[in-house]
Amino acid sequence: MRTVVIDADWEPKPEYDVSEREHRTRRAMDASGVWKNSTLEVETRERPTPGSDEVLVRVRYAGICGSDLSMLATDEDGYVHYSAYATFPNVIGHEFAGEIVETGADVRLFEEGDLVTSEVTDYCGRCNACRQGSPGHCNRFEQLGFTISGAFAEFVAVPEKLCWNVSPLRNAYDDEDALLKAAATIEPATITYHGLFARAEGILPGDYHVYHGAGPIGLTGMNVSRGAGAGAVIAFEPSDERRAIAREIGFEHVYDPLERDPVDVIDEVTNGEGADVHVETSGAVSQTYPVIEDSLAEGANVVHISNAGSDPAIALRKYQGSTAQIYGAEGHTGQRIYPRVIRMMAAGRVDNSPIVTTTMALSDADDAFERAAERVDGKVLLEM
């Protein structure tokens, strides 16, 4: 089968303290400290055989994520930008949908022909983090498309416990192709859903939501916020193309933060009350946090989702003065997230299809990555 593989050289920086486990498994907790000279190749590999608790999925669509781009992008010394858990060479890709074509002997929840998507983090269920209810921070986690074979491939083997049936989406999409395309956007939408409703506390229908950054995570998140009854959704995004996409999908309050002072805009749209919910999805934290801190509604939730390279100065008094709090949110793992995003999509409350602005064949992965790196699309999908 054809796959998209990223390879790189294992060359730990002198200051990177390689653990015994990292050395043995070649899985670096911070890829940017170890892996350099990454390359992308369309490669033919053996079709995987599902393990006893796994299903084999024939992938139809898979989205290119910012993290995929950052595994390929390198700094001036050749080290990859990606600063989390990764090993190479590996078949990448983790936002996907497809059809189950084979099931392992112990699989109970699914059968051949089921249309599914999947979570990314495989968790053990036994470690302290798992038993505390945080499987996303499992001490022995592996990640599809980062440390285990991912979805930029014609087939991917996935533990059944990570899969979710997307056939309820038949309610909202009449043909299977449109359904699977939409289903490939579930994963990015779960990132903000998790931040808003599993991490932050007490977000209410009617709250004012502000998105700092309208890339793929911001755009799908804005859809989730609107679908969940936000009083208004405001977005700040410097890219003309991405602002145009946001307007096209019906968002009225979309601004270039370099042109309009975001604090003034928020003040105007919220009639001086400030934002109840701020979602940081840009990574430009030294620009966005001063805005956030000057536009906190009483009791505001700040949901920190982006993976910024640096830390902003935090004006603690402003959080005290507004009874506001910052919630860190990463990933989406947990039993309550995926099914609810799927329900919102099935009910027609969230439709990410118009955010998919480019679809290319797996064999054109090189061009697709180049296109995605321009960061002008809502979402770039590969079609297998």
At closest approach, how far in Å is the CB of 126 from Zn ion? 6
Cis peptide preceding 89, ω within 30 of 0:
yes
Q: Which is nearer to Zn ion, 73 or 124 (CB)?
A: 124
The SS3 assignment for 152 reads coil
Q: Does 65 sit near Zn ion (CB under 5 A)? A: yes
At closest approach, how far in Å is the CB of 191 from Zn ion? 7
Q: Give the number of residues in contact with Zn ion, rule: CB under 5 A.
A: 6
Distance CA 361, CA 265 (A): 41
At closest approach, how far in Å is the CB of 216 from Zn ion? 8
Q: Single out the segment in contact with Zn ion by CB under 5 A; choices: 125-133, 155-163, 304-312, 338-346.
A: 125-133
The SS3 assignment for 379 reads strand
Q: Which is nearer to Zn ion, 123 or 197 (CB)?
A: 123
- Using the structure block, give the residue that is written with the tokens 């602002």: 243
At closest approach, how far in Å is the CB of 9 from Zn ion? 24
Residues 240, 246, 248, 254: is their CA dihedral positive or negative? negative
At closest approach, how far in Å is the CB of 171 from Zn ion? 26
- Reading the block at residue 376, the tokens are 């002008």
Q: Does 303 sit near Zn ion (CB under 5 A)? A: no
Please name the amino acid found at residue 355.
Answer: I
Angle (CA) 9 217 280, round 5°: 100
At closest approach, how far in Å is the CB of 129 from Zn ion? 6
- Using the structure block, give the residue that is written with the tokens 């036994």: 126
At closest approach, how far in Å is the CB of 372 from Zn ion? 12
Which ranges constitute the DSSP H helices of the chain? 20-25, 66-72, 128-131, 176-183, 186-193, 216-227, 240-248, 262-269, 285-293, 316-321, 338-346, 365-373
Q: Which is nearer to Zn ion, 65 or 266 (CB)?
A: 65
Please name the amino acid found at residue 89.
Answer: P
Q: How many residues does the chain have?
A: 384
**How many Cβ atoms are within 10 Å of 77's Cβ, its own excluded?**
9
DSSP string, 43-72: EE-PPPPP-TTEEEEEEEEEE--HHHHHHH
Q: Which is nearer to Zn ion, 307 or 353 (CB)?
A: 307
At closest approach, how far in Å is the CB of 376 from Zn ion? 18
Q: Does 69 sit near Zn ion (CB under 5 A)? A: no
Distance CA 224, CA 227 (A): 5
Q: Single out the segment in contact with Zn ion by CB under 5 A; choices: 2-10, 96-104, 105-113, 137-145.
A: 137-145
Q: Which is nearer to Zn ion, 124 or 308 (CB)?
A: 124
Q: Which of 73, 127, 263, 315 binds Zn ion (CB under 5 A)?
A: 127
Residues of this chain, 175-234, that bind Zn ion according to CB under 5 A = none
Q: Which is nearer to Zn ion, 130 or 151 (CB)?
A: 130
Q: Which is nearer to Zn ion, 187 or 276 (CB)?
A: 187
C-beta separation of 120 from 94 below 8 A: yes
C-beta separation of 85 from 99 below 8 A: no
Residues of this chain, 330-369, that bind Zn ion according to CB under 5 A = none
Q: Which is nearer to Zn ion, 138 or 292 (CB)?
A: 138
At closest approach, how far in Å is the CB of 202 from Zn ion? 27
Q: Which of 28, 59, 138, 246 binds Zn ion (CB under 5 A)?
A: 138
Burial class (CB in 10 A: 0-12, 13-18, 19+), 145: buried
At closest approach, how far in Å is the CB of 181 from Zn ion? 17
Q: Single out the segment in contact with Zn ion by CB under 5 A; choices: 21-29, 73-81, 107-115, 117-125.
A: 117-125
Q: Does 130 sit near Zn ion (CB under 5 A)? A: yes
Q: Single out the segment in contact with Zn ion by CB under 5 A; choices: 64-72, 146-154, 230-238, 303-311.
A: 64-72
Q: Which residues contact Zn ion by CB under 5 A?
A: 65, 123-124, 127, 130, 138
